[in-house]
Each structure stands twice: as structure tokens, then as C-alpha cells.
Amino acid sequence: MAWRLRLVPEKTNIDFFKIQWVTFGASVAAMLLSLVLIFTMGLNFGIDFRGGTTIRTESTNAVDVGAYRQALQGLDLGDVSITEVFDPSFAENQHVAMIRLSAKEGDESVTPETIAEVEAALQQIDPSISFPAVESVGPKVSQELITSALLAVLAGSAGILFYVWVRFEWQFAVGTVAALIHDVLVTVGIFVLFQIKFDLTIVAALLTILGYSVNDTVVIFDRLRENLAKYKQMPLRDMMNLTANETLSRTIMTATTTFLSLMALFIFGGDVIRGFVFAMLLGVVLGTYSTLYMAKNIVLMLGVDRGDKPKKSVKSDFADVDA
């Protein structure tokens, strides 16, 4: 028989409800603490939400992000983001970068004098550099972006609520959305606590977290629906424990492989995507936790109508994957 690596034993009998009030209480406390941090400390908004200026540079020499950053360090600037742009349509000696400058505290925009200083500093290290485009984002546009980002997260959550409600029952939908709110809210709270820059890429990460978390939760709920038809006399709590143990190998395997991939990006991906990847790492950990210890708890509290379960249910394609 071929040897196979297992991340968890083939058969497990873990009682996920043994300390359910401790785990559920910790989740609620983390959500409340995150709300307090958001309203007291506030998010450290990036250029997208604070307003600022984007400078497009072109040069016949290769872009050296480190040299660009070093040249701008002596200037009195706010947050600076430097990104090299790649495009197949560029000529062989056409090297493009985007430099984003945030407005300093108390200023509505980056002044023309500051932009001139930036351009002069970059020309000192690369005389061939040119600045074909300079664009500014004002406070009004930034406020519109904040509103759009919030609406995007709410719309994503509402869509997931409707999908789970239609596919399963309303109790499952409530448990799923509560777990999603937990994942997003605690992730944002950690960003506030450590004052990590929050921009549109983090909003994209939050939307990705919603998709990842609901995928894991739906797999477990799909197996639970099968077991509801199979074990009609088993208490709901015992059935949920059985379901979580049956799908545990799949849950751990998915979380571990995703986490390892994200760690590689976090270490080697560079500063541009580090905030996005960090949010995703938090989402993987929190999503796995909330699936096992929050979504099921809420379904257990609300109860499930077991009087009209179908004799045969749709079999999940993923729940039997070994880890």
C-alpha cells in the first residue's frame, strides 16, 4: 500500500462543542473589541482613501524601486508607494513606474511644489526619466471610494446570505453570514490595532476572504444536510460533531495549502502586495476557526427543522478528500 501523508488522523472524534461558550464568547468579544478599535483609533487609510497624487514615470533605464525610494527619503512627504508597471505592449527599453504620494495631515492634496521636488530628486538618479502623467485624487473622490468599498462588502455578504438561504435553510444562512462578519470585522480590527495601511487592495482581500470562508462553511453544511437525512434520531449536537470530524481532513488540508502559498507570497512577494497577503493570511485562519466554532454554534442555538428532511440528498464532491 502506498504511503500517504496525513495532516490529521483518518478517524477523529473531537468534541467541538466541549467549550462552546468559551470559543463563541471569544469570537463575540473579538468582534466587539474590533468595533471599539475602529471607532476610537480609526483605520490608517492609504492613498486611495485619503487622497493624493499619482506620478507616472518612464525611462530607458531599468526601474530601481530601492533607488527611487532612497532618493525620496530626504523629502518631507506623506506615505509613498512605488510600483513598477509591466505591459507586453511596452518597448524593450521602455520602463514604467507609478509613484503614489498621499496628502499630508491637514492638506487636501499634494502641492505642485512637492511634485516638482519629487521629479527633481528622481532626475538626479536617472537623467533619462520623464513624467508623462500626473493625476491627483481629492478628498471627495476618496470619500466616494470608502462608500463604494463598504457597499461592495455589504453586497457580497447579502449575496452569500441569499445563496445559503436558498440552498439550505435560514438557520444555515444566519450562521454562515455571522461567521463571515466575524472574519471581516476581526481582520479589520487587527489592521486598526497595528495601524497597517488600509487601501483598495485590502478591500479586495476582504471580498476574497468572504468567498474562501463561505466555501469552507458550505462544504460542512452540505455534509450536515446528508447526515440529517441519514441519522434521523441522532441529537443535533452529536450530528454536528460527527459532520465536523468527517470533513476535518478536508478543512485542514485546504487551510494548510492555502496558508503555505500565501506565506510564500508574503515573504517573497514584495511590499506592494504584502498588505493584501497579510489580510488573506488572517482570513484563512479566522475563516477556518469561525467555520468550526462559530457557524455551527449559531445553527445549534437556532435549531433545525428535521421533520421533512428528504430521504436522499446531494452528495458533496469535496467532503471526502483525505488530508
294: domain CATH number is 1.20.1640.10
3-class state of residue 198 by DSSP: strand
Enter the C-alpha cell of residue 70.
Answer: 532612497
In a domain, 309, yes or no: no
In a domain, 71, yes or no: yes
* CATH code: domain of residue 104: 3.30.70.3220
The Cα–Cα gap between 248 and 255 comes to 11
Does one domain contain both 105 and 181?
no
Does one domain contain both 271 and 209?
yes
Does one domain contain both 92 and 222?
no
Name every residue whose Cβ is closer than 8 Å to that of residue 319 and which is 6 or more positions away in sequence.
219, 220, 222, 223, 246, 247, 250
Look-up of cell digits 524601486: 65
Does one domain contain both 258 and 157?
yes
Q: Structurally, how many domains does the chain consist of?
A: 2
In a domain, 281, yes or no: yes
H-type alpha helices, the chain: 20-40, 47-50, 65-72, 112-125, 139-167, 170-193, 200-230, 236-246, 248-268, 271-290, 296-302
Enter the C-alpha cell of residue 227.
Answer: 447526515
Note the pLDDT of residue 307.
58
Does one domain contain both 206 and 278?
yes
The Cα–Cα gap between 186 and 179 comes to 11
Does one domain contain both 56 and 185?
no
Give 10-residue mean pLDDT values along the chain (323 residues). 60 82 90 94 79 85 87 80 80 85 68 86 89 74 73 81 79 86 92 87 86 83 85 86 87 90 87 85 91 86 66 46 47
Does one domain contain both 203 and 250?
yes
In a domain, 313, yes or no: no
For residues 126 and 120, the answer to whether their CB atoms sit within 8 Å is no
Does one domain contain both 194 and 293?
yes
In a domain, 320, yes or no: no
Q: Which of 122, 137, 152 is the last residue of a domain?
A: 137
Helix H or strand E encompassing 83: strand 80-85
Question: Which of 216, 253, 246, 320 has the alpha carbon at shortest distance from 7?
Answer: 253
Enter the C-alpha cell of residue 64.
Answer: 530601481
In a domain, 1, yes or no: no
Q: Which of 91, 119, 137 is the last residue of a domain?
A: 137
Note the pLDDT of residue 167.
77
In a domain, 13, yes or no: no
| DSSP 8-state code for residue 291 | I
Interhelix angle 170-193/20-40, rounded to 10 degrees, is 50
Read off the pTM.
0.74
- HEC per residue, 157-190: HHHHHHHHHHHCCHHHHHHHHHHHHHHHHHHHHH
Q: Which residue segment(s) compose the domain that 84 sits in?
A: 52-137
Q: Which of 137, 171, 200 is the last residue of a domain?
A: 137
Note the pLDDT of residue 286.
92
Does one domain contain both 98 and 167?
no
Does one domain contain both 109 and 210?
no
Note the pLDDT of residue 138.
64
The Cα–Cα gap between 212 and 285 comes to 11
Does one domain contain both 156 and 263?
yes
Note the pLDDT of residue 199.
81
For residues 43 and 197, the answer to whether their CB atoms sit within 8 Å is no
Please report, as a single letter, which amino acid is at residue 9.
P
Does one domain contain both 215 and 268?
yes
In a domain, 317, yes or no: no
